[in-house]
């Protein structure tokens, strides 16, 4: 068995799917088969089990979805420093923020929803002026609809 720490997590052990390759001038180098698949398996495990996520687990999920700390912070409605504190285990995210992070990961790997896109659109809307705009509705043959 091999303890796999290159992903930044502790207690990840590989029972198969790896080998040591001799590289001339360097020596033995670890080669892991389908490392993307391994990371997806780890990510799915993290988002599906009930335990709260640790700082390194939050960092793993964030990097797997390709978000910077700033982008994750903007998406979750917190500041960048807050995400940094979560990842260093100095503070815990709210349950809602942690659930949203799990959903963002599932969206990224399964591609079943447009969650991140929807949140960014909401964030853009939140940043707009609070001035009241007229909303008009009209009755169409298929029912009511609000004009854009």
Q: Name the pTM for this structure.
A: 0.76
Q: How far apart are CA 22 and CA 42, in angstroms?
A: 27
Non-local (6+) Cβ contacts of 30 within 8 A are: 2, 18, 19, 20, 21
Nearest in space to 18 (alpha carbons), one of 32, 1, 36, 37: 32
- Express each pLDDT in 55-71 by its tens digit: 999 999 999 999 999 99
pLDDT in tens, the chain (148 residues): 999 999 999 989 999 999 999 999 999 999 999 999 999 999 989 988 878 999 999 999 999 999 999 999 999 999 999 999 999 999 999 999 999 999 899 888 887 667 777 777 666 655 565 556 676 777 888 888 877 5
CA angle 52, 57, 60 (to 5 degrees): 150
Non-local (6+) Cβ contacts of 140 within 8 A are: none
């Amino acid at each position: 068995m091999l303890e796999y720490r290159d992903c930044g997590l502790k207690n990840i052990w590989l029972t198969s799917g790896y080998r040591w390759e001799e590289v001339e001038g360097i020596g033995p180098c670890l080669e892991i088969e389908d490392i993307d698949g391994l990371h997806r398996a780890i990510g799915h495990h993290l988002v599906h089990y009930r335990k709260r996520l640790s700082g390194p687990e939050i960092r793993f999920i964030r990097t797997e979805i390709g978000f910077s700390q700033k982008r994750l912070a903007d998406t979750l409605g917190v500041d960048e420093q807050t995400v940094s504190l979560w990842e260093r285990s100095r503070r815990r995210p709210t349950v809602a923020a942690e659930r949203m992070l799990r959903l963002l990961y599932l969206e990224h790997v399964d591609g079943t929803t447009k969650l991140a896109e929807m949140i960014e659109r909401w964030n853009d809307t939140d940043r707009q002026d609070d001035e009241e705009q007229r909303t008009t509705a009209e009755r169409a043959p298929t029912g009511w609809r609000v004009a854009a």
